[in-house]
Structure 1
Amino acid sequence: MNDHSLQPQGNPGGFGGLNSSFAADRQRVLRNTYALLALSLIPTVLGAWIGVQTGLMAAMGTGLSMVVFFVGAFGLMFVVEKTKNSSTGVIALLGFTFFMGLMLSRLLAAVLGFKNGGTLIMTAFGGTAAIFFAMSTLATVVKRDLSGLSKFLFVGAVIAMIAGIANVFLQSTGVQLALLVAVLGIFSAFLLVDVKRIIDGGETNYISATLNIYLDLYNVFTALLQLLGIFGGDRD
């Protein structure tokens, strides 16, 4: 799938032909990533709809649903990465996005309990799209290498995840707000780094690229939606 020839065919320009080949490869990865990302929204929405309609996640309770989330998410991500060099990887990725939609249903159901729940969801979706557009555009103009930034962001994401698990038991509103703002900032920055990596040729597999960007968008959306629910939810 990603075994691209780097030999310029019939081009006496040498390095010019090589650079042209690299550029074409990067554009193809970026184009395929965006196409698969758009396709992944379908199983996500389907999983979310099934979850809201059945109330499956709410019925599990907080503890069990958390276990299912971590086991299912990390297990499916492992499968996606193991199969990313074949067409099976696309199927695995779509299965993963369906699962993530199902996991999202508990939050969606809670927000839909607000009088303006539908508006909040659409606002969060629009905000996520705006952040994606802004970070993708910024990635095309930033010249410096951002690979070093990803290490700091990863550490921040791990700390936020651990703090989030702890806050399930602490139930602190202040901690929750701080975490949501941190997650929003961390994964917005991850969007910039992940898109820039594709543009620079650091990521050559569009399935892996889609998985990374999908996770960025998922976390941005959930953080935005929770913040909107806290500050703008209408219970009347």
Structure 2
Amino acid sequence: MQTTFTPPPLPATLSTQQQERVSAFMRRVYNWMAGGLALTGLVAWWAQGSEAVISALFNPQTGGPTMLFWVLAIGELGLVFGISGMVHRLSSSTAGLLFALYSALNGLTLSFIFLLYTQASLVSTFLITAGTFAVVSVWAYTTKRDLSGWGQFLFMGLIGIIIASVVNMFLASPMLYWIVSYVGVGIFVGLTAYDTQWLRQMALSGQMDEETGNKVAIVGALKLYLDFINLFLMLLRIMGDRR
């Protein structure tokens, strides 16, 4: 997911003013991200406790997704591409509402994990994901190393695991399942670092007014939200205890 915002190279050292600007911007990003994750979790918890909602999303006989589930999933994809691709044409308030809508819809479609995995494994995997995300994000925020060269490699890897996941829906290969899971962890750890540094560079650009800064913060929150959720799901596939 790319935008037309292009940050400049990282400076060798930061002035006090630059440090304050970056800190304020990243706080906005993480606040949006945390709000999105909280909304997703609340909606997923509510949905799994409602028999009517679960029956509407998953076939009671087969356990597979219903047509409504796929409609919501396609709607989520549309929102992701809409927020990231049309952010220049949206107001920051509209972008924020769309991000909240996406987070809520994602909570509905992710409610199945409460049916597949034990509560203890969901909690432990979430904590491991949060710790991993925090360590990687802090490293990317503070490192002097330029991570911009990772972008193309990580994007190709992301496309690869998407294609492999779709293929495995038909092959049902346990080996491919585990390969995708472990490679996926690496890809989303890398994307967390790459996106964090991208956001830091955007804050340092000094080319954003307040409205643009708010929109970039929302796009950035969406990027990190997606990194976190997908890292969580990949780790859950590896570490989660099924019911």
After TM superposition, the score normalised by the length of structure 1 is 0.80
Gaps of 5+ in 1: 1-17, 112-116
In the aligned structure 1, how far is the partner of 2:91 from the partner of 2:149?
26
SS in structure 2 of the partner of residue 61 of structure 1? coil
C-alpha distance in 2 between matches for 1:208 and 1:126: 24
1:153 match: 154
- The Cα RMSD (Å) is 2.3
1:147 counterpart SS class: coil
The Cα of 1:109 is off from its aligned counterpart by 1.4
Matched, 1:210 2:221: yes
Structure 2 contact 95–218 (Cα < 8 Å) conserved: yes
Distance 2:123 2:39 in 1: 18
1:68 counterpart (68, 71, 94): 71
Q: Any idea what the Cα deviations from partners look like across 1:39-94, whole Å, max 9, x if unmatched?
A: 11232013212432321332283484774365222201133232454211111101
- Mapped contact 2:69–2:109 kept (Cα < 8 A): no
User: Is the 1:43–1:95 contact (alpha carbons within 8 Å) kept by the matching residues of 2?
Assistant: no
**2:187 is equivalent to residue 186 of structure 1:** yes
Q: Distance in 2 between matches of 1:65 and 1:166?
A: 23
TM-score, length-normalised on structure 2? 0.78
Distance 2:232 2:100 in 1: 18
Contact 2:22 2:200 in 1 (8 A): yes
SS of corresponding position for 1:201: helix
Instruction: Tell me what 1:10 maps to.
Output: none
Q: Does 1:163 align with 2:159?
A: no
In 2: Cα distance, 1:140 partner to 1:33 partner:
13
Contact 1:36 1:210 in 2 (8 A): yes
Structure 2 gap ranges (5+):
1-13, 206-212
CA contact (8 A) 1:51 1:103 kept: no
Structure 1 residues 63 and 139, CA, compared in 2 at 3 Å: closer, same or farther? same
One-letter identity of the residue aligned with 1:193: Y
Report which stretch shifted further, 126-135 or 100-109: 100-109
What is the correspondence of 1:45-124 to structure 2 with a 5 Å cutoff? 45-52=41-48, 53=50, 54-55=53-54, 56-59=56-59, 61-62=64-65, 64=67, 67-68=70-71, 70-81=73-84, 82-83=86-87, 85-111=91-117, 117-124=118-125
Identity percentage of aligned residues:
28
- Distance in 1 between the 2:57 and 2:112 partners? 6
